[in-house]
Structure 1
Amino acid sequence: MKYTLLAWFCLLFFCRSGFGQEPVQYTPNKINQFKFVPLPAIGSNPANGWMFGLAPSATWYMGNPENTKLSNLVGNILYTTKKQWIFSVRSNIFLSENDLILVGDWRYLITSQPTFGLGSSTPNDPTQDPSFREPPGVLWGEQQMNFRLLRFYETILKRISTSNWYLGLGYHLDIHSRIESFLNEESQAPEGVFTHDAYNISNGFDTERYVLSGFTLNAVYENRDIPVSPYERNFALISYKINPTFLGSDQSSSTLLLDYRHYFNLSQTRKRHILALWGYGNFLVNGQLPYMNLPSLGWDMFSRSGRGYPQGRFRGESMLYSEAEYRFPLQKGNETFGGTVFLNANSFGNEFNQEKLLESVNFGYGVGLRVMINKENRTTITADYAFGRKGNSGFYLNINESF
C-alpha cells in the first residue's frame, strides 16, 4: 500500500508541475505554439508490473482551434519491475479544419509475458492434456514467453466533405523476434509442446521469428467532443487489413477489425455523469496468422481492453469484446476527482483446438478513481482495480480514460 501511495504522490506532483498552467488564449486563424512536456512516468498493470521512466507528450493545433481538433503525441521510455524495456510513440494528428487525420503507433519492446493457449477456456495453471480440448501433447495454461517486437503502424485518413466520416489507407508492420517459451521454475507440468510452438509449427511459421506486413483500408467516424476523455457522442472504426507476402509477410492473410464507442451524457448540469459503451471485434478472414499476431486481449492500440486479466490472457482467430463503464464526479462543485465502475466481457474462437466463438465468455469488473489534472483538455490520471475469473485480478495506473 505504501508503494501505491508513493507512486500517486510522485505522479500527481510531476503531472501538476507539467500541466498545471493557465489556459492558453487562442488567437483565431493562428496555429497554436507547439508544447512539449518531458513528463516522468509511473504506471502499473499485470503484464508489466510497475513501470518507471519518461512519458514525453506534445500537443498542438495544425489550424484554427475553432474548427481544428487538438493534435497529440505521447511517447514512452519505460523500464519495468519485470525487467522489460518499452519504447513507444503514439500520435493522433488533425490537420487544418480536420481535413486529414494521421494516426501513428510505433513501438520497440524488449519484453516478456505469459500466454495461456488459444480460446476462452484455457486454464490458469499449466497442464499437458486437458480433457476439454485437443490436440494432445500440447501444453495449456500459463507459459512464459520472452520476445522482442518492432511495430510500425501509420494511417492517413481523409475527411469526406464536411462530415465526420473519414476514409484512408495505412501500412502496418510487426516483427517478432528472439522468441523463447519456457515454464516458471515452480511449475510442475509434464513436458510437452508449448502452445506457441505447436500452433506455429502446425501452420508453417517459424517459432523464433516472424513478420507480418500489410496495408489497411479504413473507414472512421469521429464525433467525440474530446477523444482522450469524451463526455458525449460516438466513434466508429472499420479496418480491413491485407498481409501479402510481397510486402514481407511470412504468409498471406487478411483480418477485419471493428471498433465502436458511444458516450451517453446522463446529466445536463454535470456532464461528468457518463455511461460509456465499447464494442470491439477482431477476426481472421482468410489465411493464417503467426501466434503473437492473433487477436488477443489487451493488444488494442493503447492496451486498455480486458481489465481484470493480464495482457494476452486470451487469444484466438476470432475475438469479441464489450465493455460498459459508468463515470461520475466525486465533488459537488469541482471536476478534479471522479470515480467509475465497469463491467467487460470477452470471447475467443479458433480452429486449432476447435473452440467456437461465444462457446465460453469471460467477464471482468472493477472500480476506479479519476484525477483530472488539466480541465481544458481533460487530461486525467486513472487508477483501477479489476477482477476476472478464477483468481485473475490486477491494478491499472494510466493516463486518460480507458476508452
Structure 2
Amino acid sequence: MKKLLTILLVLIFSQVGYSQEQETYKPNQIRDFKLVPLPAIGSNPANGWLFGLAPSATWRMGNPETTHLSNLVGNFLYTTKKQWIFSSRSNVFLSEDKWILVGDWRYFITSQPTYGLGASTPNEPSENPNQQGVLWGEQQMNYSWVRFYETVLKRIGFSKFYLGMGYHLDVFSKVENFLDTELPPSELNFAHNFYNTQLGFDQDKYTLSGITLNGVMENRDVAVSPYENNFALVSFKVNPSFLGSDKSSSTLLLDYRHYFNLSEKRKRHLIGLWGLGNFLVSGDLPYMNLPSIGYDMFGRSGRGYAQGRFRGESMLYSEAEYRFPLQKNKETFGGTVFFNASSFGSKMTNEKLLEKINAAYGIGFRVMINKENRTTISADYGFGSKGNSGFYLNVNESF
C-alpha cells in the first residue's frame, strides 16, 4: 500500500517528465517518468463531446530490460450532455514485473440512454411485445456512479502468468428515468424500473461489492498500444451481501487479445483480435451492473454503438482490427479498419445467447504524440446495425 501511495503522490504533484541514466536499479524506484497533461477533446455517442483534461502518464519501476512500462490515464471532463466525468485507470508493474497493480476509480454525474434487455431491442421507444406494459427501446437515465476497483496480481515464478485478488465496488445512486418524447403512453414502465422491481432491487440506488479471483497472462510489449504477443484474463467475482451488495451474486469475465505482426520492420503494421465474455453465474445483478456493451475497463468495446446500447445476463463480444502506418519511414500517423460483433442473452426476455448478433464496422486515424511510450490520439467512426453509428475520439488504442 505504501508503494501504491508513493506512485499516486508522484502522479498528482509531478508536472514535468524526467529520466534517469544509471547503471544500477533500485527495486520499485520510479524512473523514466513522463506526464502528458493533455487538454481533452473527446467524443462518443453516450457522452457527446467531452472537454477538460486527460493526463496520461508512463514510468518504470525497475530495469527497463525486465520491467514493463506502467501507465495511468486520468479524465477530468465535462460534456455537452451536462455530464461530469472523473476517472483514473492504471496498470502498475513493480520491479521485474513481479507484481501488477490494476486500478479503475471513477466518479460520474452522468446520463445515458438504455434500451432494455437482450440483443433485439429497437431504437425507438415502444411497448415490449413479450412483456405488456414494459417500455422497449430508447429510454433516458440520469444517475451518479462511484466505482472503486483495485486488483493485486503476483507473477508465478519467471513466467508471464499472474494470480491475484481484487476488491470491486460499484454504487449507482440518484437514478432517474425519463423520455425525450411524449410517446409512448406514460403508463408504460421503464425497463430499468421493471427489472429492478421484479428482482427486489431499489429503483434509485443500489450497491455491488465483491472480491475477484484473477488469473492473468501479460505478454504484451506495451499495454496501452501493443505491437505483438497476447494478453488473457480470467476473473471470477463473488458479490456477497455481507460485503455490502444488495443481493448476493457471482460473475465470470473472460478476456483474450492477440496481436499478429505483418512486418518485422514495421511492427505497427498488424492485426489485433479481441474476444470478451461476461456471464452472470449465480444470483441476480442490479440493472446497471449487468454485462453491457462499452463497459470494459476503458469503454472501448462496441464501436458503432452507444455505451449501454445492449445489455443482458450474458454477453459475448469479438473484434478484429487491421492497423497500419501511413508514412513510409515515420510512425506519427497511422490508420485502422475494424469489425466487431456482439450477442446478449437475457433470462427475463427468454432471449438466448447467439440468437441475435449485432455487428459493426468502421475506420480510424491515429496520431502518435510520443513514440517512446506510444501515447496515441485515436479517432474512429463506426457504423452499427439498425442505423446506429458514432464518432469516437480517445487516447491510445482501443485494445
1:33 Cα deviation after fit = 5.1
The equivalent of 2:97 in structure 1 is 98
CA RMSD across the alignment: 1.4
Contact 2:232 2:256 in 1 (8 A): yes
Q: Distance in 1 between matches of 2:23 and 2:248?
A: 49
The equivalent of 2:143 in structure 1 is 147
Q: Which amino acid counterpart does residue 348 of structure 1 have in structure 2?
A: F
Contact 2:19 2:32 in 1 (8 A): no
Contact 2:117 2:312 in 1 (8 A): yes
The equivalent of 1:341 in structure 2 is 337
Gapped regions of structure 1 (runs ≥ 5): 1-17
Alignment pair present for 1:117 and 2:116 = yes
The equivalent of 2:389 in structure 1 is 393
Q: How many residues align?
A: 380
Q: Distance in 1 between matches of 2:281 and 2:259?
A: 30
Alignment pair present for 1:172 and 2:168 = yes
Q: TM-score, normalised by structure 1?
A: 0.92
Q: Which amino acid counterpart does residue 351 of structure 1 have in structure 2?
A: K
The equivalent of 2:372 in structure 1 is 376
Deviations 1:182-207 (A, max 9, x none): 100x3521230000000000001000
Q: Which amino acid counterpart does residue 280 of structure 2 have in structure 1?
A: L
The equivalent of 2:230 in structure 1 is 234
What percent identity do the matched residue pairs reach? 71
Q: Distance in 1 between matches of 2:205 and 2:255?
A: 29
Q: Distance in 2 between matches of 1:313 and 1:302?
A: 16
The equivalent of 1:293 in structure 2 is 289
Q: Which amino acid counterpart does residue 82 of structure 1 have in structure 2?
A: K
Contact 2:209 2:240 in 1 (8 A): yes
The equivalent of 1:10 in structure 2 is none
The equivalent of 1:160 in structure 2 is 156
Q: Which amino acid counterpart does residue 183 of structure 2 have in structure 1?
A: Q
1:39 Cα deviation after fit = 2.3
Q: Which amino acid counterpart does residue 40 of structure 1 have in structure 2?
A: P
Contact 2:58 2:373 in 1 (8 A): no
Deviations 1:247-295 (A, max 9, x none): 0000000000000000000111221110100000000000000000000
Q: Distance in 1 between matches of 2:134 and 2:238?
A: 30
Q: Distance in 1 between matches of 2:58 and 2:316?
A: 33
The equivalent of 1:36 in structure 2 is 35
The residue matched to 2:51 in structure 1 has which SS? strand
Contact 2:139 2:177 in 1 (8 A): yes
Q: Which amino acid counterpart does residue 331 of structure 1 have in structure 2?
A: Q
Alignment pair present for 1:188 and 2:180 = no
Deviations 1:297-325 (A, max 9, x none): 00100000000000000000000000000
Q: Distance in 2 between matches of 1:235 and 1:366?
A: 24
Contact 2:201 2:286 in 1 (8 A): yes
Q: Distance in 1 between matches of 2:304 and 2:89?
A: 24
Deviations 1:69-110 (A, max 9, x none): 111112111000000000111111111100000000000000
Contact 1:219 1:237 in 2 (8 A): yes
Q: Distance in 2 between matches of 1:33 and 1:158?
A: 23
1:128 Cα deviation after fit = 1.3
The equivalent of 2:68 in structure 1 is 69
Q: Distance in 2 between matches of 1:311 and 1:35?
A: 31
The equivalent of 2:22 in structure 1 is 27
1:201/1:350 CA distance change after superposition, 3 Å: same
Q: TM-score, normalised by structure 2?
A: 0.93
1:389 Cα deviation after fit = 0.6
Q: Describe how 1:298-377 pairs up with structure 2 within 5 A.
A: 298-377=294-373
Q: Which amino acid counterpart does residue 61 of structure 1 have in structure 2?
A: R
The equivalent of 1:54 in structure 2 is 53
Q: Distance in 1 between matches of 2:268 and 2:19?
A: 23
Contact 1:28 1:65 in 2 (8 A): no
Contact 1:308 1:366 in 2 (8 A): yes
Q: Distance in 2 between matches of 1:108 and 1:61?
A: 27
Contact 1:127 1:190 in 2 (8 A): no
1:24 Cα deviation after fit = 4.9
* Comparing 56-65 and 105-114, the one that deviates more: 56-65
Q: Distance in 2 between matches of 1:274 and 1:27?
A: 34
Deviations 1:216-253 (A, max 9, x none): 00000000011111111000000000000000000000
Contact 1:229 1:400 in 2 (8 A): yes
Q: 2:276 aligns with which of 265, 277, 280?
A: 280
Q: Distance in 2 between matches of 1:224 and 1:303?
A: 20
Gapped regions of structure 2 (runs ≥ 5): 1-14
Q: Distance in 1 between matches of 2:83 and 2:336?
A: 30
Q: Which amino acid counterpart does residue 324 of structure 2 have in structure 1?
A: F
Q: Which amino acid counterpart does residue 155 of structure 1 have in structure 2?
A: T
The residue matched to 2:192 in structure 1 has which SS? helix
